[in-house]
Copies of this chain bind each other. A is one copy, B any other.
Amino acid sequence: MTPSQRNPEDRPVAALLAPDIVALLDESPAAIAAETEEVHPADLADVAELLEHDQLQAFLTALGPARAADVLEYLDEELRTEFLEAITPRQAAALVSEMTPDDRADTLEEIDEEHADDILAEIPREARQETERLLSYEPDTAGGLMTTEFVSVSQDMTVESALENVRAVARSGKKEAMSAIYTTDVQGRVVGVMSLRELLAAPFGGKIGEIAWSEVVSVSPLADREEVARLIANYDLVAVPVVSESGHVMGVITVDDVIDAIQEEQTEDVQKLGGMEALDEPYSQIAFWRMIRKRAVWLSALFLGEMLTATALGAYQKEIDRQTVLALFLPLIISSGGNSGSQGTSLLIRALALREVTLRDWWRVAGREVMTGVTLGVILAIIGFVRIELWQAMASHGWSVLGVQIGHNYDLVAKNGQEILVAGQHHLLAVTVAFSLLGVVTFGTLVGSMLPFAMRKLGFDPANASAPFVATFVDVTGLIIYFNVAAHILLR
Residue numbers of A with Cβ under 8 A of B are: 1, 3, 5-7, 9-10, 13, 38-40, 42-43, 166-167, 170-171, 178-179, 196-198, 200-201, 213-215, 217, 229-230, 232-238, 255-256, 258-260, 262-263, 266-267, 269-271, 273-276, 279, 282-285, 288, 291-292, 295-296, 298-300, 302-304, 306-307, 309-311, 313-314, 317, 320-321, 324-325, 327-332, 334-336, 338-340, 342-343, 345-351, 354-358, 360-361, 368, 371-372, 375-376, 379-380, 383-384, 387, 408, 414-417, 441, 466-468, 471-472, 475, 479
Contacts and interface: CB of A to CB of B under 8 A. Distances in A.
B1 A230 contact: yes
B303 A380 contact: yes
A9 B360 contact: yes
Does more than half of chain A's interface fall in helix, strand or loop, or is it mixed? helix
Interface-central residue, A166, A171, A233, by most chain B CB under 10 Å: A233
A354 B201 contact: no
A107 to B, nearest CB: 15
B300 A380 contact: yes
B339 A10 contact: no
B346 A471 contact: no
A372 B291 contact: yes
Contact of A306 (B13, B171, B332, B357): B332
Identical copies of this chain, number: 2
A171 B204 CA distance: 12
B336 A327 contact: no
A468 B269 CA distance: 17
Contact of A379 (B5, B214, B296, B417): B296
A376 to B, nearest CB: 6
A7 B357 contact: yes
A267 B314 contact: no
Contacts of A332: 303, 306-307, 309-310
17 contacts: A9-B360, A10-B358, A196-B196, A233-B256, A233-B263, A262-B266, A267-B354, A274-B347, A283-B347, A284-B357, A288-B371, A296-B375, A299-B376, A303-B383, A338-B468, A339-B472, A417-B417
